[in-house]
């Protein structure tokens, strides 16, 4: 007789090989067909609401690893909250306006772009954005992300655009909006002002020049500069050879120079270089001389403060007096400590200019060409004029040193060309109006930042940020709802006018701004203060960050299933400057509070060497590639397994080890399923109090595991979930409990109490695990659930995490001790195996001896020990010598020898009872009983 037939070996159709790339799309389709998201919303009516507000990715290009990480984290948060008992509506969104799309569209149109009007460009941009919304939607769904994909929010939808205008109106009402002439980063190629977020710093080669400005004060003025009495005469005598020296890397801004700025807290000296006197900061004097390759015959300490605010210098090549000003932004890090100041071309220059009443001179137009104000350079492109300016300085003998310098310089984020700073008329959001900055800082203190350093990061940024430049000179965006009076040139942007635009946009979308005549865009009878009634539309659009920055109004307030404020925002660390901040500012200004209760940030995806991924470096890995080869599940698990609060260093090398872990979890589930093929929980479940102690130990252990994992989910520490899951499967289950309990499952009679008890535990383990893994391993959990006997729901997401697993602390402590002994025994077994005395552990008889607590515990459990050790026999032997002490447990003595009796052909245990039955000579007594019952039954 083949006794194998009488065993209850595992049986399951659950495939060992996951084959994820092929199987996953079917799940995605099934979730959609079954309307899983909608069903979950219905099924969770009445539960506490948990709102994670989706930050809109830009509708341009395919989903990359960064966007995938972000959405997967959100999905894991939402699913874990769902299964923890919340209702979790998720409305995904896209950011649709803005320069990147417009730029791309224009590039694709090539020379044809010029022939098109703004409206036609906008239509193409809209089509472009729609295309990528659809692409990305499919890609996010493919990742297993659950949400209201059929009704996302789009910043280009008419309703959303109307909300953008509405918030702008509320800001106008609150007095936050103003027009101003301000230097801004300006791209001469794109012809637009850039927001801080659109500026990229990278290396650029600029001229680096030292220029002297002649002192034009009187001899008396010069003498007054002396700190020491004895220097007065020299200064007075050499007044026509006295100069202040500046250093700059932007010679083209010199035509706009109006002042030289010194630091009030620095010491200055006049260096005697070949008879000329050069004023520089004392701390930079040596470095300056080294640059010139000269030495100074004398260093005369000077104090220029008496001349503060006076026009005591002469422009090096223009007929213009240059003012001496003081401000503490001047540093002694580089240059001369005397700073060339052009209020139209630098932010700090502008600030100093305001303080001293200087005009905002900007002799440069939007295309980067000098205007007539720049004299001989008129019509020249600024960067190209650099060399001529340097040459002119040389001619005038005011150039002290000129060379090329490679340094970090602002560039346009789209066209990658170097930017200039240029004063233009722009629309601004005033951060210091109505104590907004203070109130925003207060709100920051009330938000939970995860990880906690997020607080300091955004706090410092908000504390120091400048006003927000809201206007862009582009076509693809929401127009600034303002009208210029043709008669007087003043702007009309009062609440009533804007409200009208809101209504028009809600109905027709913002294209109406370009389609409709101005008369239809202003309310009837609108008049300027000057009495004028004829208007023209403002040509600016709003910064795309403004679009995203009002999503808390346009989405949270507008969608019935959501609420304001959100419970959580989840984005990458760069958003402290971006979305977190713009959302905060618009919310505090218009709603008086932060739009989020908590903010979770994750790092960025870097390459193997922790370097940024970029197309130019050729180190970009696409999610699509990973999905195609290994499945989305692997990407989900990978992102879950790392500590995302730091940047994630991604390499394909991470995948192979991860697959091992995945297989461990999958195979453990498969083993559990395989042993439950004949188990019906409704009929066969054994009650906890009737379970053997080992089984209760297992349930206690599972309860602890369950608690730890749930806690990790609460803290959004998914990497702890993954590690605990793998460890639990590998250590507690595979290597320990399941290994031990195999004997019972396989050899006991199918319907016997010991087997049903083990199956009860297996069932609980599987039921616990399938729920705990679902937020991360969504596909696998769903697949496993299909095979779970007696399942009551058709999606794992209709189940909640458990909290009802039984614990028994005293029992648990005893068994933990027994497992320590087990470790000592397996070590001894291994030694015996190495010495060729046994092969399988069942070949062994283990002799034990111990005194004290361990001794009495082992005495109590002596009958259980063979099972626990997976050996054939365990005997108590007081004669074991001290040398037999275990290295792991000195109070325990162990000896291993071959087991007694014969190997039972059925259960493979050695026993002296083998042969006790004439019908089954190869079997032990235990197996004889089972087999006889089997053949009769």
Partner RNA sequence: GGGCGUGUAGCUCAGUUGGUUAGAGCGCGUCCCUGAUAAGGACGAGGUCACUGGUUCGACUCCAGUCACGCCCA
| Token duo for residue 304 | 């220029």
Helix (H) or strand (E) holding 649: strand 648-649
Rounded Cα distance, 806 and 696, in Å: 8
CA-closest candidate to residue 858, choices 897, 886, 883, 899: 886
Smallest separation, CB 722 to RNA (Å) = 7
What is the DSSP-derived secondary structure letter of residue 864?
T
776, 718 Cβ separation under 8 angstroms: yes
| Token duo for residue 321 | 């007096």
Task: Give the list of residues 6+ apart from residue 535 with CB closer than 8 angstroms, or none.
Answer: 483, 484, 485, 486, 492, 518, 522, 526, 528
Number of helices (H), then strands (E), in the chain? 32, 32
C-alpha separations of 217 from 326, 399, 893 in Å: 17, 21, 101
Smallest separation, CB 234 to RNA (Å) = 35
Other C-beta atoms lying within 10 Å of the C-beta of residue 318: 16
Smallest separation, CB 318 to RNA (Å) = 26
Please report where in the chains the tokens 């505090």 appear, as a residue: 588
Judging by beta carbons within 10 Å of its beta carbon (0-12, 13-18, 19+), is residue 689 exposed, middle or buried?
exposed
Q: Which residue's CB is nearer to RNA, number 667 or number 752?
A: 667
Task: Give the list of residues 6+ apart from residue 764 with CB closer than 8 angstroms, or none.
Answer: 699, 702, 805
Helix (H) or strand (E) holding 349: helix 347-356
Q: Which residue's CB is nearer to RNA, number 250 or number 717?
A: 717
Q: Which residues pair with 418 in a beta bridge?
A: 411
Smallest separation, CB 671 to RNA (Å) = 3
Task: Give the list of residues 6+ apart from residue 771 with CB closer than 8 angstroms, or none.
Answer: 83, 781, 796, 799, 800, 801, 802
Q: Which residue's CB is nearer to RNA, number 273 or number 907?
A: 907
Smallest separation, CB 745 to RNA (Å) = 9
- DSSP calls for 602-646: E--EE-TTSPBP-TTTT----HHHHHHHH-HHHHHHHHHHS-TTS
Q: Which residue's CB is nearer to RNA, number 491 or number 908?
A: 908
Q: Which residue's CB is nearer to RNA, number 771 or number 906?
A: 906
Q: Which residue's CB is nearer to RNA, number 256 or number 606?
A: 606
Q: Map residue 277 onto helix, strand or coil.
A: strand
Smallest separation, CB 28 to RNA (Å) = 25
Q: Which residue's CB is nearer to RNA, number 286 or number 739?
A: 739
Rounded Cα distance, 241 and 275, in Å: 8
CA dihedral 725, 730, 736, 738 (to 10 degrees): 80
Smallest separation, CB 902 to RNA (Å) = 14
Rounded Cα distance, 293 and 287, in Å: 10
Smallest separation, CB 528 to RNA (Å) = 35
CA-closest candidate to residue 244, choices 222, 277, 219: 277
Smallest separation, CB 111 to RNA (Å) = 33
Rounded Cα distance, 503 and 395, in Å: 62
Q: Which residue's CB is nearer to RNA, number 147 or number 335?
A: 335
Q: Which residue's CB is nearer to RNA, number 384 or number 456?
A: 456
Rounded Cα distance, 719 and 713, in Å: 9
Q: Which residue's CB is nearer to RNA, number 394 or number 660?
A: 660
Smallest separation, CB 442 to RNA (Å) = 18
Q: Which residue's CB is nearer to RNA, number 333 or number 689?
A: 333
Helix spans in 174-276 (H): 219-224, 232-237
Cα of 251 vs its chain's centroid, Å: 40
Q: Which residue's CB is nearer to RNA, number 393 or number 676?
A: 676
Smallest separation, CB 744 to RNA (Å) = 11
Smallest separation, CB 323 to RNA (Å) = 21
Please give the span between the terminal C-alpha atoms of the chain, in angstroms, as a whole number: 16
Rounded Cα distance, 602 and 534, in Å: 51
Q: Which residue's CB is nearer to RNA, number 118 or number 667?
A: 667
Rounded Cα distance, 657 and 661, in Å: 7
Q: Which residue's CB is nearer to RNA, number 270 or number 914?
A: 914
570, 73 Cβ separation under 8 angstroms: yes
Smallest separation, CB 594 to RNA (Å) = 18
Smallest separation, CB 423 to RNA (Å) = 15
Smallest separation, CB 828 to RNA (Å) = 9
- DSSP calls for 382-449: HHHHHHHHHHHHHHTT-EEEEEEEEEEEEEETTT-PBPEEEEEEEEEE-TTGGGHHHHHHHHHHHSEE
Q: Which residue's CB is nearer to RNA, number 172 or number 776?
A: 776
Q: Which residue's CB is nearer to RNA, number 16 or number 530?
A: 16
Smallest separation, CB 723 to RNA (Å) = 5
| Token duo for residue 460 | 């410092």
């Amino acid at each position: 007789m083949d006794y194998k037939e009488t065993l209850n070996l595992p049986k399951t159709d659950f495939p060992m090989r996951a084959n994820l790339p092929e199987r996953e799309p079917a799940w995605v389709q099934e979730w959609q067909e079954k309307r899983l998201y909608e069903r979950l919303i219905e099924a969770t009516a009445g539960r506490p609401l948990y709102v994670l507000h989706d930050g809109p990715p830009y509708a341009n290009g395919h989903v990359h690893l960064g966007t995938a990480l972000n959405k997967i984290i959100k999905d894991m948060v939402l699913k874990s909250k769902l299964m923890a008992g919340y209702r979790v509506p998720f409305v995904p969104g896209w950011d649709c306006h803005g320069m990147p799309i417009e730029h791309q569209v224009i590039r694709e149109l090539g020379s044809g772009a010029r022939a098109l009007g703004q409206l036609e460009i906008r239509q193409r941009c809209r089509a472009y954005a729609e295309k990528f919304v659809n692409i990305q939607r499919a890609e996010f769904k493919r990742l297993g992300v659950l949400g209201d994909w059929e009704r996302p929010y789009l910043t280009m939808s008419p309703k959303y655009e109307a909300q953008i205008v509405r918030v702008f109106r509320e800001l106008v009402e609150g007095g936050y909006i103003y027009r101003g002439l301000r230097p801004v980063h300006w791209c001469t190629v794109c012809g637009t002002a850039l927001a801080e977020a659109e500026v990229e710093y990278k290396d650029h080669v600029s001229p680096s020049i030292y220029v002297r400005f002649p002192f034009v004060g009187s001899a008396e003025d010069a003498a007054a500069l002396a700190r020491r009495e004895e220097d007065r005469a020299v200064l007075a005598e050499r007044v026509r050879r006295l100069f202040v020296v500046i250093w700059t890397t932007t010679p083209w801004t010199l035509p706009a120079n109006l002042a030289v700025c010194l630091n009030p807290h620095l010491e200055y000296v006049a260096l005697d270089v070949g008879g000329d006197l050069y004023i520089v900061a004392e701390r930079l004097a040596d470095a300056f001389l080294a640059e010139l390759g000269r030495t100074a015959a004398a260093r005369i300490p000077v104090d220029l403060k008496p001349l503060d605010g006076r026009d005591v210098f002469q422009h090096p090549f223009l007929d213009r007096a240059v003012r001496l000003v003081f401000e503490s932004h001047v540093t002694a890090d580089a240059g001369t400590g005397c700073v060339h100041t052009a209020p139209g071309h630098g932010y700090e220059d502008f600030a100093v200019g305001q303080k001293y009443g200087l005009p905002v001179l900007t002799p440069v137009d939007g295309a980067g060409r000098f205007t007539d104000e720049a004299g001989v350079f008129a019509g020249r492109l600024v960067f190209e004029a650099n060399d001529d300016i340097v040459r002119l300085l040389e001619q005038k003998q005011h150039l002290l040193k000129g060379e090329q310098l490679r340094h970090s310089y602002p560039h346009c984020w789209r066209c990658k060309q170097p930017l200039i700073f240029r004063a233009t008329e722009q629309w601004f959001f005033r951060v210091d109006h109505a104590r907004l900055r203070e109130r925003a800082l207060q709100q920051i203190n009330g938000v939970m930042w995860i990880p906690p350093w997020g607080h300091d990061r955004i706090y410092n940024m908000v504390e120091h940020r400048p006003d927000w430049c809201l206007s862009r000179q582009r076509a693809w965006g929401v127009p600034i709802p303002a009208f210029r009076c043709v008669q007087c040139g003043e702007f009309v942007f009062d609440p009533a006018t804007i409200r009208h635009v809101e209504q028009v946009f809600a109905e027709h979308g913002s294209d109406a701004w370009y389609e409709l005549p101005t008369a239809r865009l202003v309310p009837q009878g609108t008049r300027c203060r000057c009495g004028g009634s004829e208007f023209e539309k403002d040509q600016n659009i709003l910064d795309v960050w403004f679009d995203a920055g009002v999503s808390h109004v346009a989405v949270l307030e507008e969608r019935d299933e959501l609420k304001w404020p959100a419970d959580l925002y989840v984005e990458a660390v760069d958003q402290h400057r971006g979305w977190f901040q713009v959302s905060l500012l618009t919310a505090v200004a218009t709603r008086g509070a932060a739009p989020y209760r908590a903010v979770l940030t994750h790092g960025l995806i870097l390459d193997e060497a922790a370097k940024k991924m970029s197309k130019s470096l050729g180190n970009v890995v696409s999610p699509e590639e990973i999905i195609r080869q290994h499945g989305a599940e692997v990407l989900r698990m990978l992102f879950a397994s790392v500590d995302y609060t730091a940047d994630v260093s991604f390499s394909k090398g991470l995948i192979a080890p991860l697959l091992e872990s995945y297989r461990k979890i999958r195979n453990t589930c498969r083993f559990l399923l395989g042993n439950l093929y004949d188990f019906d929980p409704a009929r066969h479940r054994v009650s906890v109090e009737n379970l053997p102690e080992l089984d209760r130990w297992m349930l206690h252990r599972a309860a602890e595991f369950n608690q730890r994992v749930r806690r990790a989910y609460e803290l959004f520490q998914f990497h702890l979930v993954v590690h605990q899951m793998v460890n639990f499967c590998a250590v507690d289950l595979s290597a320990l409990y399941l290994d031990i309990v195999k004997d019972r499952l396989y050899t006991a009679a199918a319907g016997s109490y010991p087997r049903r008890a083990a199956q009860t535990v297996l069932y609980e383990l599987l039921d616990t695990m399938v729920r705990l893994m679902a937020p991360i391993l969504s596909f696998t959990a769903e697949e496993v659930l299909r095979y779970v006997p007696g399942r009551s729901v058709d999606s794992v997401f209709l189940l909640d995490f458990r909290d009802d697993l039984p614990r028994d602390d005293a029992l648990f402590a005893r068994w933990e001790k027994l497992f320590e002994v087990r470790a000592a025994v397996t070590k001894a077994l291994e030694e015996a195996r190495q010495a060729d005395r046994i092969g399988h552990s069942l070949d062994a008889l283990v002799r034990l001896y111990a005194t004290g607590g361990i001794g009495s515990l082992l005495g109590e459990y002596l009958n259980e020990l063979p099972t626990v050790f997976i050996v054939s026999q365990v005997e108590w032997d007081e004669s074991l010598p001290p040398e037999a002490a275990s290295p792991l447990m000195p109070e325990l003595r162990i000896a291993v020898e071959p087991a007694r009796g014969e190997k039972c052909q059925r259960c493979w245990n050695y026993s002296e009872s083998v042969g006790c039955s004439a019908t089954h000579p190869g079997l032990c007594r235990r197996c004889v009983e089972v087999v006889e019952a089997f053949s009769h039954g």
